[in-house]
Structure 1
Amino acid sequence: MTQLTDRKALIRNRERSRANPALFLHEAAADEINDRLSMVNRSFTDKVVVSGFPDFWATQIPGAVCIGDDDTLDLETERYDLLVHAMCLHWANDPVGQLIQARRALKPDGLFLGIFFGGATLNELRSALAQAESDVTGGLSPRVTPMAEIRDLGALLQRAGFALPVADTVKLTATYASPLHLMRDLRAMGETSALAGRPRHMMRRDVLFRASTLYVESFGSDNRVPATFELMVLTGWAPHESQPQPLRPGSASARLADALATKEKPLKD
């Protein structure tokens, strides 16, 4: 398996952030998860949360067991009726493998909820860094982890064996006094680069200053700069016979043309 993420670097980044954490995006994610749980008309007794920040998420999903987001998850087969994958799937070396493990850990008719950063996250910063590095050095270095797009996620849930899959997205915008304040917040979130292929040296000063200038010129307004964060939310159920099932092809008892009050025209061979 290709290693996209340097796990040692990721763990180091998270440990470093705990000295002065900035977890406001985790708080927003927890609100989204709890809002969706409030719309499910059932109670859950065997709950587990997968997260890189278990202390925070233990307070958000009362009674849940919290485990780390290792490549091989510490989960028992068909043990849980609720599994929340919280703000770490974007760092997974094998996202589909993580979903498959989650699916196997759920009891029949168990609920999976996943939330993580999506493709529009930090688009302003990525654009400024890419342009600055190209201007100054004539090349590009991998600095931001690849993130999923909404159109791909429903198919990933189906590949993992979930029933009734749903993928949706929530966009949030934070503003900062400068791009450097944003970068400081990313460090406090534990979200600085942990790519396996990242440069292993500090960013050149001239590249950093050029990126900051481009960021302000391209996106700044009223002495502030915006930062976009996109939260992807996945919902799926472990299959069970009580769930709605798709009809067999050709089993319809009414014609679409009749429902639309229109004349059906056969296609030519």
Structure 2
Amino acid sequence: MSQPPRIFAPHRRLAARRRAIILQNQPNAAHYLLDDMVEDVLERLSFVQMVPQRALVVGDWTGALAANLRAQGAEVIEADPAGLRGAIVLDEEQPYLLRDFDLIASLGTLDTVNDLPGALIHMRQALAPGGVMIASFAGAGSLPALRAIMMAADGDRPAARMHPMVDVRAGAQLLQRAGFADPVSDGRSVKVRFRSLAGLVGDVRAQGWSGVLTQNGPAVGEAGYARALVAFDEQAEDGRVTEVFEILTLSGWRR
């Protein structure tokens, strides 16, 4: 069996998550993307009138989703690729050691695994019959403003700095390939206005959305940064640039 291409560097992926946790200790640290994902999971469970009894929550370093599920009487295990905030370490590209969950919620991690089809299969296999998987992560179309700014910064030699992302159609195909029943793939946009490039980059880093490619581009340098600042100002309206964070959510059941 052929191995999937190594687009993402595992050590950089874990470093980005650890850096995000450090940045979260700063005043007014951004976590609106994870907050959105947590709220969405709870809304979906409410819509299908499901109260899980045994749940696995992956990637929610705020602890908000686990706390809400526990308040409903669920047994909750928290996991994270980097083992953040006391969560168990989970390698999403390997079979899960723990199984028989009636809910697996993965937040903000699956966009940077090298074997996404395999990761989804492992999630389905870890569900109990009748269990549901809900996974939200960065989707195609995210960060168009920052992409354009970095292209301007690189000038005549554009470098790979931001990783490829999955769109809604590809997400649906992945769910079917992984064997989920009643698969659903949908996306939504979170739009945020920024007064500065530093603010935009700061929010991206603080929420763990920074690049983790195996082969990353060279340092921007002073001249490149100056071009980036000009590109930011050119996109601004009323002194602010609107950035778009696309969140892709995949869900499916094990029958």
Short-chain TM bin? 0.7 to 0.9
Would you say the 8 A contact 2:93–2:115 is kept in 1?
Answer: no
**1:84 matches 2:105:** yes
RMSD: 1.9
Equivalent position to 1:121, from 118, 121, 142: 142
Q: What CA distance in whole angstroms lies between the structure 2 residues aligned with 1:40 and 1:147? A: 28
Would you say the 8 A contact 1:77–1:104 is kept in 2?
Answer: no
Q: What CA distance in whole angstroms lies between the structure 2 residues aligned with 1:212 and 1:37? A: 43
Equivalent position to 1:97, from 98, 118, 123: 118
Q: What CA distance in whole angstroms lies between the structure 2 residues aligned with 1:35 and 1:108? A: 22
Could you list the per-position Cα deviations for residues 152-173 of structure 1 after superposition, in whole angstroms to 9, with x for gaps in the alignment? 1111100000011111111010
Q: What CA distance in whole angstroms lies between the structure 2 residues aligned with 1:163 and 1:174? A: 35
Corresponding residue for 1:16? 19
Corresponding residue for 1:68? 80
Q: What CA distance in whole angstroms lies between the structure 2 residues aligned with 1:185 and 1:76? A: 34
Query: TM-score when scaled to structure 2?
Result: 0.85
Unaligned stretches of 5+ in structure 1? Answer: 240-269
- Report how many residues are paired: 234
Q: What CA distance in whole angstroms lies between the structure 1 residues aligned with 2:95 and 2:77? A: 11
Could you list the per-position Cα deviations for residues 207-262 of structure 1 after superposition, in whole angstroms to 9, with x for gaps in the alignment? 12212211321x311111111001111110112xxxxxxxxxxxxxxxxxxxxxxx
Could you list the per-position Cα deviations for residues 150-208 of structure 1 after superposition, in whole angstroms to 9, with x for gaps in the alignment? 11111110000001111111101011111221011222222222111103x53212112
CA positional deviation for 1:26: 0.3
Would you say the 8 A contact 1:82–1:112 is kept in 2?
Answer: yes
1:82 alignment partner AA: L
Would you say the 8 A contact 1:54–1:68 is kept in 2?
Answer: no
Q: Which has the larger radius of gyration?
A: 1
The 3-state SS of whatever aligns with 1:64 is strand
Q: What CA distance in whole angstroms lies between the structure 2 residues aligned with 1:220 and 1:82? A: 42
Which stretches of structure 1, 4 residues or more, deviate above 4 A after TM superposition?
54-57
Corresponding residue for 1:195? 213
Corresponding residue for 1:7? 10
Corresponding residue for 2:157? 139
CA positional deviation for 1:79: 1.0
